[in-house]
């Protein structure tokens, strides 16, 4: 198949719409179920590149959750402990494969943003991963293949209309890419930059200690940023992104947005949140929204209005600001990547509040000395990669 006609483009009024390969080759994909649209394929192809690179860099299965051409989550297949299983709502009856662990992490980091996502897997989708995907609200999936039973599980989603795409893992695009904007064609070389631990050797701070896990997390953050709409910042820990700030005009707003998501991830592990008792039959989305509300500053309003009975079996105690701060103060060993240099030290100071101990950024600001000074004051190890990772 050399081209695939789509229902419409980004919006219903944008017709006609199709995908094809400029050089006349066959499309490297096969639609096994459903009818993916323009945005679905944008997410699918960006997600596939991300997970393929994550696996190449770490030698671990990888997964990504994409929404509107930026990842909501990305992770590699590191085993889940009991707390991770609980905050990701993993069914204890499912024997998790490494790929399933990667998916649980990618989906679970920011569940509100992952609602209605497009999933990308680096490896053949197995039954364990399909079972985790089945109850989630998702638009589709791209992978290099599917086990027969896994495919049947996925075909049952969305009343049989779930989008399932198989991609040829050997496909390589042309080295020059094109994009049309306002009838004008832009041409550039593809970003073929290989991101690996070798990019982390130029440590410019007094603290020069990077653990092996920190290196993995920094690589995950940088590869995730390579496929995140800029400006962007990514917090990572334990083999996964835990907070992604995408598409902001200001670097500090990226850092704050990603940091607030990382804080939510950390706060969800607090016993006070883990012990919440939900009413029977509550949907996953309502549960996720309720946890976010409970962690947030507006929960007092819900308690005052008495709306909690619709959500919880038992009225939860207020999660005070002081309790949250005390819990977050314990956070450490978080890695952070930035797709461009930090122009001010406020980014470092905000990152530190979310447990950041390791930073990877290009460097090159006129204020690099002030940023380094801030890291030294806080005991942060920072590597200058020398490489910018803008993505538009």
**Pick the catalytic residue: 163, 231, 264, 347?**
231
Could you give the CA distance from residue 178 to residue 191 in angstroms, rounded to a whole number?
12
**Pick the catalytic residue: 52, 55, 67, 391?**
67
Distance of CA 121 to the CA centre of its chain: 13
Q: Is 197 considered catalytic here? A: no
Could you give the CA distance from residue 255 to residue 243 in angstroms, rounded to a whole number?
9
**Pick the catalytic residue: 68, 134, 155, 197?**
68
Q: Is 68 considered catalytic here? A: yes
- Pairing assessment for the beta strands 163-167 and 138-143 based on DSSP bridges: parallel
Q: Is 231 considered catalytic here? A: yes
Catalytically annotated residues: 67-68, 231, 392
């Amino acid at each position: 198949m050399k081209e695939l006609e789509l229902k419409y483009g980004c919006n219903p009024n944008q017709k006609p719409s199709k995908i094809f390969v400029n050089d006349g080759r066959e499309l490297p994909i096969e639609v096994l179920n459903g009818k993916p649209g323009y945005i679905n394929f944008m997410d699918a192809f960006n997600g596939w590149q991300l997970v393929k690179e994550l696996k190449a860099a770490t030698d671990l299965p990888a997964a990504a959750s994409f929404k509107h051409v930026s990842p909501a989550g990305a992770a590699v297949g590191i085993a889940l402990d009991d707390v991770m299983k609980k905050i990701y709502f993993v069914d204890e009856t499912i024997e998790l494969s490494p790929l399933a662990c990667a998916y649980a992490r990618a989906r679970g980091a920011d569940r509100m943003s992952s609602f209605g996502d497009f999933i990308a897997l680096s490896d053949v989708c197995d039954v364990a991963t399909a079972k985790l995907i089945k109850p989630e609200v998702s638009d589709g999936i791209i992978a290099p293949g599917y086990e027969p039973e896994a495919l049947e599980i996925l075909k049952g989603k969305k009343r049989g209309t779930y989008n399932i795409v198989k991609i040829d893992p050997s496909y390589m695009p042309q080295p020059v890419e094109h994009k049309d904007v306002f009838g004008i064609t832009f041409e550039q070389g593809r970003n073929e930059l290989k991101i690996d631990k070798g990019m982390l050797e130029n440590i410019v701070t007094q603290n020069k200690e990077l653990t092996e896990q920190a290196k993995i997390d920094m690589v995950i953050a940088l590869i995730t940023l390579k496929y995140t709409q800029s400006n962007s910042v990514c917090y990572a820990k334990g083999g996964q992104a835990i907070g992604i700030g995408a598409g902001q005009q200001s670097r500090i707003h990226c850092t704050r947005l990603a940091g607030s998501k990382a804080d939510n991830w950390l706060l969800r592990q607090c016993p006070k949140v883990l012990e919440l008792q939900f009413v029977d039959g509550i949907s996953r989305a309502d549960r996720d929204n309720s946890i976010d509300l409970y962690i947030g500053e507006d929960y007092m309003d819900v308690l005052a209005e008495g709306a909690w009975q619709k959500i919880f079996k038992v009225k939860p105690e207020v999660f005070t600001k002081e309790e949250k701060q005390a819990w977050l103060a314990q956070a450490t060993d978080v890695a952070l990547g930035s797709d461009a240099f930090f122009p001010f030290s406020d980014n470092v100071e905000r990152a530190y509040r979310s447990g950041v101990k390791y930073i990877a950024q290009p460097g090159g600001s006129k204020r690099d000395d002030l940023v380094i000074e801030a890291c030294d004051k806080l005991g942060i190890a920072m590597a200058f990669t020398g490489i910018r990772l803008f993505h538009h």
